Amino acid sequence: MFIEKITMEELKRGLKNCKSIIIPFGSVEEHGPHLPLSTDTIQIIEILKIVEKEVNVFIAPTVHFGVCRSTEQHIGTVGISPNTLRLLTLDLLEGFKNQGFEYFFLVSGHAGKLHMFSLIEACESFVKRHDDVRVFVYSELDLIKDNLDGIIETEHDSHAGEIETSRMLYIDKNLVKGNYRKLKSDKPEFFPGEITSDKLKYWKSGIWGDPSKANIEKGKKTLALSAQKLIEIIKKIQKETI
């Protein structure tokens, strides 16, 4: 159940049978010249629509902003600091625990390393405060990265490339702007280990992958794959608690 769509009484009744909640995270971030700034958020919501149909779990409103390090200089990216994300996440965890939740699944449509580390750090602090909870943190793309053979052609496809363009075509093709088939495959050219303030110098396109290989069927399959992985995880944890 998406909790933004239910009443306080529905939440109260639901908590009698379900103590699990998914907290989704997205971003406002450039996704090349062809995809919307909320691509990460749109994708995770679509995945959770599938999850909702298959498993008894509450779904929190999506946290729409994340830590965006590599893309922070690109037009359209509006990020928050790691500390802001940690504090916000910790407050949300405490708030939902106070409502009676015991099992927390933090699932991010944005896969930046610093973003994910910030979520993990917040959860580490939370579990040290409470020994009566279980907390899980996932990047949804990381859940399926080893299961893309036969679906995705581009090796190490990551950002605004074949996967995300395919997904947006499936969700709403009108959100994919311009001729994505003419876009060139690209990836960041940062020197390994270097931390630079001039990120645009090494990655102008904002694309990491190959949008030209995208199609609707690939989008449908990869979204369903992420949903199925989450369904399996949540069902397993819930079964352990019976």
Determine the average pLDDT of the residues in 82-99: 98
Res 220 pLDDT > 60? yes
Percent of the chain with pLDDT over 90: 94
**97-139 pLDDT, tens per residue?**
999 999 999 999 999 999 999 999 999 999 999 999 999 999 9
Res 239 pLDDT > 90? no
pLDDT, residue 240, reads 80
Q: What is the DSSP string of 57-72?
A: -EEPPPB-----STTT
Residue whose C-alpha is closest to residue 32's, from 140, 145, 186: 186
Give the separation between CA 15 and CA 223, rounded to whole angstroms. 28
Structure pTM?
0.95
Six-digit token string for 240: 């352990």
Question: Would you kindly state where each structural domain of the chain is located, as residue ranges?
Answer: 3-237
Question: What is the Cβ-side half-sphere exposure of residue 189, based on CA atoms within 13 angstroms?
Answer: 8
Residue with structure tokens 């409470």? 130
Question: What is the Cβ-side half-sphere exposure of residue 121, based on CA atoms within 13 angstroms?
Answer: 13
Domain 3-237 belongs to what topology? Rossmann fold (3.40.50)
